[in-house]
Every structure is written in structure tokens, then in C-alpha cells.
Chain A
Amino acid sequence: MEGQLAEFLGGSALELGASHGALGHGHWRYGKDEDGIGWLVLDREDASVNTISDTVLRELDAHLDRIEFNLPRVLVLRSSKARGFAMGADIDALAEMEAEATETLLTEAHRVLDRLEGLSCPTVAVVHGAALGAGFELTLACDYRIAIEGASFGLPEVRLGLHPGLGGTRRLPELIEPTAAMQMMLTGSTAHTKKARDLGIADLVVQERHVRAAVAAIRDGEVEQRGRGLMARAFALSSARTLAATRMRRETEKAAPSKHYPAPHALIDIWEKHGNDPDAMQKAEIASFAQLLQTETSGNLIRAFFLRRTLKNAGGARDDIARVHVVGAGAMGAEIAAWAAMQGKHVTVSDPDEEALGGMIRRAAEICKDEHKDALETRDTLDRLMPDPGEYGVAQADLVIEAGPEKPELKAEIFEGLARRMKPGAILATNTSSLQLADFLEHVPDKARFAGLHFFNPVPKVPLIEVVSHDATGAETRERLLSFCTAIDRLPVAVTDYPGFLVNRALMPYLLEALLMMDEGIAKERIDKAAKEFGMPMGPVTLADQVGLDICLDVAESLSKSLQTGIAEIPALLREKVEAGDLGRKTGRGFYDWSDGTPKPDTSESTGEDLTDRLILPLLNACATCLREGVVGTADEADAAMIFATGFAPFRGGPLHYAGTRGHDAIRARLDEFAAAHGPRFKPDAYWRDVKPT
């Protein structure tokens, strides 16, 4: 809705019953209707979303005193925040806690939830938006859950190296089919409205306008509980659980090896051992949670969570870019355009090749499918995405993104062609990955409104965008671009105009070292295995194939041209592949055969000499150089960029954090050893000597 009508009708107000206008302070408000419905509403002070903290639970405890004393006929729990029920535990508070304090706190928290569960009146959680983690666990202590259309439920604790800690490990397998419950907790996946109803998490799905009637129906005993399934009984037998647990362990090991990710394995252990004994389960959950919270994995995954938040917040809320024009419908241009359109931007795309524009539409339809967009969302996305061979969109665009081939003359020509047609105030950004912005300044219409927006391939899977400023890029331009990135649900990091910017500058020495090892006769499978054991999502040789060997060569050449030191000679192997036209995934063959999808190299043989440091340290060293030279603002941003662009083992907290854990002196000594053995490309950066880890 727009304008006055929207203002008058006020979107959709939440039904808050008698709590509306109820007095009181703190995070909760409570009021009881004449018809016997008690409304207990969570509305965290000084926050736009709800999280569950220890104060929230203590105040809930105090409200339960009053509620028990004057029992309503039915108690409703809900949030008054527009954005949803609750996002989970207060992670900032959690991150600081010692093991013993954690146990004490959790035991107390469990007592409060048990008390809620034990109320003698029916209790109903009304959920709009997301109920995640501790928020979901709070609803699990209620007798009924009403989902408002669009609601979602999930226990994503494994992503923080934890498992549920507020009774979720016990209550969810009691409520729904136990293996489905375990699946949700092991993968941290979210059940959206329909799935939540099918699973038995939600007893009713209603529109907001019918909440009061639905609650009254529960009060009057007209609604049956959907969960409380009989399946739980099948797993009361420990032999049945052992059978299921064995399968779960096998699956989990593939996605999250226990060596690096202990939490899901701990969860399976608890369930297998105590699945038929709620009290023992509760105790084990508390102890295990407290223990996991102290692990390095959890500490680093929580760190990654904070880093994500930091990047997200780097872009302010003031996004003023509504119309985007993309020049070039190649693989990157097409995905950038499709993604932006899916996130609500009006996007036009030009390309001299109309077939490429057609391919872009097909790709956009695929992305909508992969992102689970429904028929209407897909239609609207495709309606917002206009192939524009006539380049009509240029004159209206707030932002023009150039995603043409990596040929300097061609880019210069494109920039000059745009100059006369872009509207005043519009930003011109290039998606170049191997060229420097400074080389184009005389060709662009407005230096202050020229910057880099470096997306990564594939755009829907890699959340990071480098926002690149050259010396004359205006601060306002940078801010607007950061906000734009946040608005299209990507993570921006501000970097300067440096060869390879940050991510490719740091990644390339790692990839080149891998290729040099291959040149030396080391099997590519062994190299990839070493990196995967370190925790990389894929090995460097596979990654080079995925990025595209032509692009690797472009970036490597541009780096070796512009940097005096620190970069390996480009291995002949790479040139040969590119000359032969074997460019990796996109041509079906690179170092690996991609004709049947992502290769799964056989990595069963033992690795022999440890290759890990020789691969990883060049990457760390390059990050140090970038930080020292001011390419990126802080070590945290560098770590975040490498985690969210390359998947750098998140449980290690990022390259510089990892270096800090090992000690800068140790890193320097190891680099010196490699320099002596393999050459000056390993020369330790001055950073290791000058900066102490924090």
C-alpha cells in the first residue's frame, strides 16, 4: 500500500489483547481480558527485535507469579515487535560467559520454562515472523503454537558451534517426529509456515486478523494439538535410537566433521543416550551446552556471527538506489542483475548479444527456484528484470554497474558511452576483479561517483561484495554503495583500489602455491585434501576451476605486474590449461573434470608431509600486507571478507585471527623457513613483527 491509504490503514497491527496499554516496565507487558484471555507480550526495551536474555527470563518468572495467582482461562505469549517473535538468545551476553556461570544460568532458565510448561491453564504461543533458537524454545514450553502466515521456526545453534540449550533438545523430539526434530537441530534449518504445520510444530495457521478468534477457540477446547506424536514412542527403545544415531553420525560427519564441529555430534550422543528420560536429557543438555560454549570452534563461529553483523551494519539504512542498470549479461552481470531484481530493485540490463540477455532471464528463473521463491515472487522478480538492448534504462538508473569483459579498452569505451546518458547524481560502479580503477579515471563521467562493486561467483551463494574506492571516490558514493549492498542482502566490505583488492590479492598466492605444488609433482587430490582438512569448503585446485582458470590467470598476471614481491611466478600449468580452453567449471574441464557436476576428488590416501602451512601462510601473509597498507580498514573486516567471500574455515575465526592464535612470531618464523626453502615470495610481512595479536 502507498501514501495516505497506507497511513490510514496502518499496515497490519498486531493483536495484543489486554496487554495493549497495560502498565508496567521491563521487557514484558501483561493484561487480562474480560473473556479470560491473558496476554503476555514480549517487547524488549531499547531494541527493535526480541532476543532472550537472562533478564527477560527473570522478568517472565516474576510475571508467572502473578499469573499463577490469578490464573487466566488461557495464556497467550507473543511479541509486539513488527519483525517477529524472537531471534534467539542474547549472543552478546552469551559470548562472555564462563562454563560454570553458564550452567547456573541455564539451570535457572530451565526452571522458568518448566514453570511455564507446568501452568494449569492452556498456554498458546502466537508467532509472527521468526521464532529462532531460544525464541523457538520458549514457544516449545507452551501447549499450543499459532503460526501467523509467514512465520518460521528454527534452532540454528549448530551454526554457532552449539546445540539448543533451553530445553529444545528435549521438547522438540517430544513434540514432533524425533528424527525430523534431530534433522532440524543438526542442520540448523528453518521450518516455514506450511512445513511447520506439516511437522506438527504449529497447531494452527491463521492470518493476524483472526488471532483473537483462534485463541478463543483454544480456550473453548475446540482446537486439537497437532504434535505430541506417537512416533516418539518408537524411539523410546534405545536400540531404535542407536540405529538412527548411527545414520545421523554418518551424515553429519560428511557436512560437519567432528574434529572441527563437535556440537552436532554432542547432540546425537545426548539423544541416543537419554532420549527416553526427560530429566537426564535436560541435565545433559545443560552440561553439554556449557561445555560447547567454551570450545574454540564455538568462540570462532560466534565471532563469525558478529563479523557478519558488523558488515551488515556497515551499510546504513539509507538506501536510495531504486533503479539499477547493468552493462553486460555475462555470467556475473546476469547473476548480479537477477539477484538485485529478486531483492526488489528495478533492473535493466544491456548487452550487445541478445542471446546473452535471454540467458540472463533463464538464470534469473533458476535463481528464484533455488531461493524457494513462489510463483508470484518469481513473476514479480522477472517483471522487475528487463533485458534492455536499447539501453533505455541508463538514463533512469541511480546506479550503473559495468560487468563487461575484463578488457581495458572495452571498459574505457563503455564508460565514455555512458557519460552523456547517466542522470545527475547516479553512481557508476565496475565489477572488475583484475583491473584497477585508477586506470579509468579519465574515461568516467564523474570521478567522485565512480567506484568498484566487486561481486563474487556465484552471486547467490557468496554473500560478500567488495566496495572499492579509488583516491577520488566520494565518501557519499561509498556510503550509498554500502547501503545498497545491505539492501540487497549482501555483506559489503570497504576496500581501496589495490591490485586484486583484498580478497583476490589474498587468495591468489594460495591458489598459485597449490599450482606450483602440482608443478612439483604433488597430486592435486593431496593438495585439496590438506586444505579441506584445515577447514576450507573446497581445495584450492577445485576452487581455481570453479573461479575459472582464465580469471585466475588474469588476476595473477595483473598482480605480478603491479606487485614487486610476494607473488609466485605464474605456473606454466595454468597458461597451458587456459590456452587449451579448459577453463574449469564453466567449460566442463579444468584441472578436474566437471562434466558431471562438482568433482569429488578421492582424498583417501594419506597426506604424507603436511602441506597445510605452505598453502595457508601465503594467504595470511597477503592479508597482513593488505591490512598494513590500508587496503582494508581493520583485521576484523579482513577476516570477515575472507570468511564470507572464500569460505575461509569459519571455525578458525578468519585468517588474521587464526594467525593471532598461533602467534605472530611463530607465523614469521614459519614464513622464514619457507622463504629459505622455496624463495622470496614467502618473505614475512613487516606486520608480523610490528603488530602484536590482540
Chain B
Amino acid sequence: MNGREVFLVDGARTPFLRARGKRGPFTPVDLAVQCGRPLLARQPVAPDAYDMVILGCVNVIADEMNPARVAALRLGMGEAMVAFSVQINCGSGMQSIDTAFRYIREGRGDLILAGGTEALSHAPMILRDEAVDWLAGMQRSSGPLATAQSALQIRPSHLRPVIGLERGLTDPITDLSMGQTAEVLAHHFGITRQAADAYAIESHRRLAAAQEDGTLADEVLPAFDREGNVYRRDDGVRPESNMKKLAGLKPVFEKPYGQVTAGNASQVTDGACWCILASAEAVETHNLRPLARIVDSDWAALDPQVMGLGPVLSVTPLLQRQKLGAEDIDLWEINEAFAAQVLACLKAWQDEAFCRDVLGLDAPLGVIPRDRLNVHGGAIALGHPVGTSGNRIVLHLARAMAKRGGKRGIATECIGGGQGGAMLLEVA
């Protein structure tokens, strides 16, 4: 690969906080500030010494247009800090890292703060189109009679709000919800409900263990709201979960025969994450200690109905380009949008016909052992703040590699709308 070396030197995130049916304590930029402040404070570099700020965010709120710039200013990074937001749906947090990676590789920057943030609990309630038209009509009509006539045209059903989040998690081309795309994969790849539930239980168990043994200490920093509440850890984890409990849950997306439930899908959650990327020069100048080197990345696109195969389609060309096989990868982070979706990816890589016909491989890519995959749990236990997850899996991969040893790691995610993103790291 041409260009300069790029290092991931540090990163931190907020605890991921489950949406509990009302707006959470933090807006997207609040979340970015909560973890960005201590992250910047522990660097030997002044906050205004960065070259730019890039932030992924899908559900931007009206008060925080271009959340990257709002966050940069609120973080005290100086008025001259260039900052832009990126959005590729569930890949936004990785898109920010990839963009920063490319800037530094090309020599157009040395030190970049790249993150992702999402407050799904703040996703707006949307007026129905009929209600919007009615309001516009009211404003246009002149004279009391016309206004009264306009006013009479409203129907109660017009005022029933549309939940923005629901629409956001539905593919606009196919009108399939994300959960339905997982049902499609489960069907094609023969993923059973039991296999998906068992996968989900393991995700919770691994996250709980990582929370207990201090693995996440430098990565997850406490957040503090204005009422004085302290948020210390990801609060969606359910280590007590078991097969019996999960088996009792009803399918959410395709009743009554579907198999994707709230128990084997990722949770709706608020959270932010940042990574600091640096050139070799910046590492030396500022005496930084890299966690990992970013080697390469790739993006792929496919039919939105099977968006869950995004990891398979983005990782495979990356490995081919780097002349690596599955066995060369010591650690994997595959974002857990749905248990069935992750399991479908694993099955696809083992399927001779799929690998030959779709990926153009002579032989199946092979098995990704469970003890190399999402070793500290994933979005099923943590939650999936869509703009943040891609950032989190790259950061966590780097930290887990640094902690466990192992030479190479891959972080990858499926992306609503039918895409996939992948990033290859090496120990620094």
C-alpha cells in the first residue's frame, strides 16, 4: 500500500445507554463531549494541535447541524479547527476513521480526531405528511373564512406521530425493516432460532466478563449528566440471560413465525466513541504510544434486502488484496446487528458454492473461530448506536489486540441500505 503509515494512538467512548422509551440524558454532541473531554485531556498534545475533526452521526438533531464542528468547538479545540460530519448509516463511525486514515496517508494531516456519535433516544417524532400539508394550508390561507375551511380539513389520524426511529431503521428502497433483512438471511443460510439465541447469550456473557475484569477500563469513561447521575458502564448487558428466557420472546419483525427477537438483535442505544489517528511524525513529535497501525480498508455494496452480508463482501476483497487468509487474522470484530446476520456471514464464508459463485474464491474462506470473534461481546449486549458502532469496533479491536497479542485484526460491519465496511489493523 502506498503512502505514509497511520496509527491509532488512543480512543475512548461513553458507556452505551439503552433507550428507555424517553429521551436520554445526552444529545449526540453531549455524548461526543462526554468522552472527548477526558480523551483529549489524557493526551500529551494540546486540544488545538489537531488537524481536523471527523464525526459520524446518522440522526443529527436540529440544534446540532454538523455535529463534528459543534463538538470540536465545545471540546475547546479552537475556532480554527476544521470539522465535518460523515454519514453512511451504520458505517458512519468507521467512515470517519477511514477518512482520517486517507488524509494522513496522503500527507494532508498528521493528527486527526475521528469519532461516531448517536443518541437514538433523541430520534424525532415526525409529523405525517398530511399534517404538514394541513399546517402549510393554514398558513397560506388568508381571511377568516378560508382559514376556518382549512382548519376543518384536519383529521385525527393526521396527528398520530410517526416514530422517526422506526422509519430510520427501515430500508427506503425495499420497505423492509432491518430486522426483516435478518429474517431473509436466516432463511437463506438456515440459521436456527436456537443458534441465534445461543450466540446472543454468549455476547452478554463476554461483555459482562470484560466489564468485571477491567478490560474496558481505559476504553469506557464515565459520563455525568446535569442531574448529577453517573453512567459508568454499558447498561444493556444481561448476563443472567438464558436459553429458556430467550426462547420465551416473541418475534418482533415478522410475527408469528419469524425468529428475530429483541433478545437476539442489537439494542437501541445512545453512545459516542472517538479514536485519535496519527502519522509516524506526529507519534514521534508528541511522544504518542500507538495501539495499532491501520493497514487497509474496504467498502462494498449489495442488495439492501441482504445488507447483513456486507461484512462478507467488504472483507473478502480486502483479504485478497493483502494476500491474507482467514487464518492470518488473529482477532475479529463483526458488528452484531443481529445474531442471525453474524451467523449468516460466518456460514457464507464456509459455503463452497457461495464463496465460488459470489466471491470468486477457489475454496471457502474458512472458519472464523468463535474465540477470535467479538471476544468481549458485541452490539447484542452493548447496543448499536448506529453512527458510533463502526468506531467502537475499530477502537476495541485495537485495544483487544494490544492486550491479547496477535498480529492482525479485522473490524467489519453490515450497513443498512445494503453496504459493508471493513478495516484491517496490525499491531504497532
Contacts and interface: CB of A to CB of B under 8 A. Distances in A.
B230 A354 contact: yes
B230 A388 contact: no
A365 B41 contact: no
Interface residues on A, range: 20 to 34
- B42, B75, B227 interface centre (most CB from chain A within 10 Å): B42
Contacts of B145: none
Interface stretch (B76-84, B297-305, B376-384): B76-84
Interface string A342-357: 0000101000001101
B228 A361 contact: yes
Contacts of B222: 354, 387, 389
B224 interface: yes
A392 B79 CA distance: 24
Nearest to B227: A362
A384 B73 CA distance: 11
A358 B42 contact: no
Interface residues on B, range: 20 to 34
Contact of A383 (B74, B80, B221, B228): B74
Given A2-B79, A346-B76, A392-B42, A362 B226 contact: yes
Contacts of B75: 383
A390 B226 contact: no
Interface string B307-337: 0000000000000000000000000000000
A507 to B, nearest CB: 32
Chain A's interface: helix, strand, loop or mixed, by majority? helix
Contact of B230 (A355, A379, A384): A355
Interface string B69-102: 0000011101110000000000000000000000
Interface string B226-242: 11111010000000000
A357 B221 CA distance: 13
A142 B250 CA distance: 77
Nearest to B76: A346
B166 interface: no
A382 B226 contact: yes
A1 interface: yes
Interface string A386-426: 11111011001000000000000000000000000000000
B254 interface: no
B190 interface: no
B37 interface: yes
Interface string A372-384: 0000000110111
Contacts of B130: none
A320 to B, nearest CB: 16
A362 B41 contact: no
A392 B80 contact: no
Contacts of B401: none
B236 to A, nearest CB: 20
A241 to B, nearest CB: 47
A354 B228 contact: no
B106 interface: no
Interface in A577-598: none
Given A386-B37, A387-B224, A390-B221, A357 B42 contact: no
A358 B229 contact: yes
A393 B230 CA distance: 19
Interface in B25-75: 33, 37-38, 41-42, 74-75
Contacts of A355: 228, 230
B312 to A, nearest CB: 39
A370 to B, nearest CB: 15
A423 to B, nearest CB: 11
B281 interface: no
B225 interface: yes
A358 B38 contact: no
Nearest to A325: B41
Nearest to B39: A392
A361 B226 contact: yes
Given A354-B232, A358-B228, A386 B74 contact: no
Contacts of B74: 379-380, 383
Interface in A317-366: 346, 348, 354-355, 357-363, 365
Chain B's interface: helix, strand, loop or mixed, by majority? loop
Nearest to A394: B41
Contacts of B38: 386, 388, 390, 392
A396 B232 contact: no
B228 A359 contact: yes
Contacts of B228: 355, 358-363
Given A348-B41, A354-B222, A386-B37, A2 B230 contact: no
A362 B41 CA distance: 22
B226 A393 contact: no
Given A361-B225, A361-B228, A1 B42 contact: no
A2 B76 CA distance: 13
A386 B230 contact: no
A7 to B, nearest CB: 14
Contacts of A382: 226
A390 B78 CA distance: 24
A365 B226 contact: yes
A355 B231 CA distance: 10
Interface string A565-583: 0000000000000000000
Contacts of B78: 2
A388 B41 contact: yes
B87 to A, nearest CB: 25
- A2, A355, A387 interface centre (most CB from chain B within 10 Å): A387
Given A354-B230, A392-B41, A361 B224 contact: yes
A396 B41 contact: yes
Contacts of A354: 222, 230, 232
A393 to B, nearest CB: 6
A58 B80 CA distance: 50
Contacts of B37: 383, 386
Contacts of A362: 226-228
Contacts of A346: 76
Contacts of A2: 78-80
A393 B79 CA distance: 22
Nearest to B79: A2
A354 B41 CA distance: 18
Contact of A357 (B226, B227, B230): B230
Contacts of B79: 1-2
A393 B41 contact: yes
Contacts of A359: 228
B89 to A, nearest CB: 29
- B74, B230, B232 interface centre (most CB from chain A within 10 Å): B230
A345 to B, nearest CB: 12
A362 B225 CA distance: 8
B224 A358 contact: yes
Interface in A205-240: none
B51 to A, nearest CB: 17
Contacts of B227: 362
Contacts of A380: 74
A593 B42 CA distance: 46
A383 B33 contact: yes
Nearest to B232: A354
A380 B224 CA distance: 15
Contacts of A363: 228
19 contacts: A346-B76, A348-B41, A355-B228, A357-B224, A358-B224, A358-B225, A358-B228, A358-B229, A358-B230, A362-B226, A363-B228, A379-B74, A384-B76, A386-B38, A386-B41, A387-B224, A388-B41, A392-B42, A396-B41
Lowest 6 CB-CB distances: which A-B pairs, in order?
A362-B228, A392-B41, A392-B42, A358-B228, A358-B230, A365-B226
Interface of A: 1-3, 346, 348, 354-355, 357-363, 365, 379-380, 382-384, 386-390, 392-393, 396
Interface of B: 33, 37-38, 41-42, 74-76, 78-80, 221-222, 224-230, 232
Given A358-B230, A362-B228, A392-B41, 12 more contacts: A346-B76, A354-B230, A354-B232, A360-B228, A362-B226, A383-B75, A386-B38, A386-B41, A390-B42, A392-B42, A393-B41, A396-B41
